[in-house]
Amino acid sequence: MNKKTSTQLFSLLGLAILFYFLTIVSTVILQTKGVDMWRLMMASTTLQNIGIFIIPAIITARIFNPGKTMQVMQLNRFPGLAHIGLMLLIYFASIPAMNAIVTWNESWQLPEALSWMTDMEATAQDATEQMMEITSIGRLITVILVVGVLTGMGEEFLFRGSLQRLLLERKINVHVAVWVTAFIFSAIHLQAYGLVPRMLLGAFFGYMAVWSGSLWLPILAHALNNSLTTLSYYYPSFETAPWIGIEPSTLSIIISFVATALFVWVYYKWVRIKE
């Protein structure tokens, strides 16, 4: 890793930490103003996405690539309909398989030394439940915009638009760059019971960025995933719906694994042919 890459990574990290503390201060100020918990969490999440994820990514790219910010972050082009269509096929084909992996990961038994992670998991779940107290269409739209769209955009700016990009710029093997970024993306959430499915999602987003040449495709995929999760809280019937339900049949899991692998292979071969 050369000096320029190291400097960019440290700059990215430093800016993210700076805005992290600014976000905490802003949240505390709002709390002292008597803002109710749900609105406070919406405001805090918005500040986090913009301050910790989006702004550091843009500033770092702009400082080290003057005049080429949009280009280096792959924001200067939109994916074609074929890319979007293949992404959607892969995503929806993978749902039963991913739900099975989620169930398996949640069944992990952590050793006593990692009991603190269990406590963090419970805290995170409580926070999610409070955030998902959606009592009206207005709240539903707000949560989709903040947790779905803005979080999807923010995390992609930081992880695929910055970290993965910097690894690829150093000529690191593309698969190594994608999976290292995916692991960091998952691990930074400090939620062991979602480590594997979140890492797989991160790899999916990473390959979408590489194969399409556009950060907008993983942003769309990330926003879609987060938004569907939000909708499942508002419409509990999603949990028992065919194919997308949280308890898939053995047959649907097998079909899902095969179909996902097939669509990924088709996408990969199509990209190779285009090259």
Of 37-41, 118-122, 158-162, highest mean pLDDT: 158-162
Residue 248: its pLDDT value, please? 93
Checking if the pLDDT of 116 tops 60, the result is yes
Domain span at residue 210 reads 77-274
Q: Compute the distance between CA of residue 263 and CA of residue 265 in angstroms, rounded to an integer.
A: 5
H helices present in the chain, as ranges: 3-32, 37-47, 55-64, 69-72, 81-106, 115-131, 137-143, 151-158, 165-169, 174-187, 195-212, 216-234, 250-274
- Judged by average pLDDT, the poorest of 45-54, 109-118, 223-232 is 109-118
Residue 260 lies in a domain: yes
Checking if the pLDDT of 34 tops 90, the result is no
Total-model pTM = 0.93
Residue 146 lies in a domain: yes
Average pLDDT over residues 119-125: 79
Average pLDDT over residues 27-38: 90
Rg of the Cα atoms in the chain: 19
Residue 59 lies in a domain: no
- Average model confidence (pLDDT) across the chain: 92
Average pLDDT over residues 137-164: 96
How sure is the predictor about 118, in pLDDT bands with cuts at 50, 70 and 90? confident
Query: Cβ–Cβ contacts within 10 Å for residue 114, how many?
Result: 11
How far is residue 89 from each of residues 6, 61, 175, 275, measured CA to CA in Å? 37, 32, 21, 22
Residue 193 lies in a domain: yes
Query: Cβ–Cβ contacts within 10 Å for residue 236, how many?
Result: 8
Residue 270 lies in a domain: yes
Nearest Cα residue to 128 out of 33, 224, 38: 38
- Counting residues of the chain whose pLDDT is more than 70, the rounded percentage is 99
Number of domains into which the chain is organized: 1
Residue 220 lies in a domain: yes
Residue 106 lies in a domain: yes
Burial label for 129, CB within 10 Å (0-12, 13-18, 19+), is: exposed
Q: What angle do CA 188, 191, 193 make, to 5 degrees?
A: 140
Residue 251: its pLDDT value, please? 96
Residue 192: its pLDDT value, please? 87
Checking if the pLDDT of 3 tops 60, the result is no
Task: Quick: pLDDT tens for 217-259.
Answer: 999 999 999 999 999 988 888 888 899 998 899 999 999 999 9
Residue 40 lies in a domain: no
